[in-house]
A and B are shown apart, each in its own frame.
Chain A
């Protein structure tokens, strides 16, 4: 079945560093979504991508929809402490159901370097 693989699983950041993470699948996705989840809260949508090759920014965040439709990356520039959290990629299940029936990756956990 469809699966989303995120890497890295976790990473440590120092304030000011740029961060890069990606999401891959063996299946084609027609929409790629990036969410952030803080402890004890629900996921919040950061960026939505709807077209292969699309590059979209939201403040210090930039995400791209891969040309093959099987991958996407998210970059965070000049990280700040509040960037800490878990980042999920997600996409709609392909069978033609609701656009809200999403498959999520397992997440990339961002923590602050001790």
Chain B
């Protein structure tokens, strides 16, 4: 069990560019979550996958954001036409559907800075 892995750890981009982040969950976990965390705040839920199906999306996930989990394993989060307000830490978490009250295991995040 190597934990939840996120890449890259840091990303600096210019406003208007597209960025993509990757998350590799714990291998036996079929539930995957994306959260966003801004400075001085707790994480905020963005979206949830059960296997390859995207079952929940927050209103925070504007139409510039898209997430995929094509084979039910790793996931990608893409932000198109980035804005300065997108600067944040993007956290991925996973859990197991087969375990009651399975806790979320978070990765160490991708810190995005939009200049």
Contact = CB atoms under 8 A, between A and B. Distances in A.
Given A98-B31, A101-B45, A48 B55 contact: no
Contacts of B91: 42-43
B48 interface: yes
Given A42-B91, A99-B102, A106-B40, 5 more contacts: A44-B106, A88-B42, A100-B95, A104-B43, A107-B42
Given A98-B31, A100-B48, A100-B93, A106 B42 contact: yes
B28 interface: no
Contact of B42 (A31, A45, A104): A104
15 contacts: A42-B93, A45-B105, A88-B43, A98-B31, A98-B55, A99-B101, A99-B102, A100-B31, A100-B48, A100-B93, A104-B41, A104-B44, A105-B42, A106-B40, A107-B42
Contacts of B101: 31, 48, 50, 99
Interface string A67-102: 000000000000000000000101001000111111
A40 interface: yes
- Max chain B Cβ within 10 angstroms of own Cβ: one of A50, A99, A107: A99
Interface residues of A, number: 25
Contacts of B103: 33, 45, 48
Nearest to A97: B56
Nearest to A102: B45
B109 to A, nearest CB: 6
A45 B93 CA distance: 12
A100 B101 CA distance: 9
A58 to B, nearest CB: 12
Contact of A42 (B31, B41, B106): B106
Contacts of B108: 40-42
B74 interface: no
B104 interface: yes
B4 interface: yes
A15 to B, nearest CB: 26
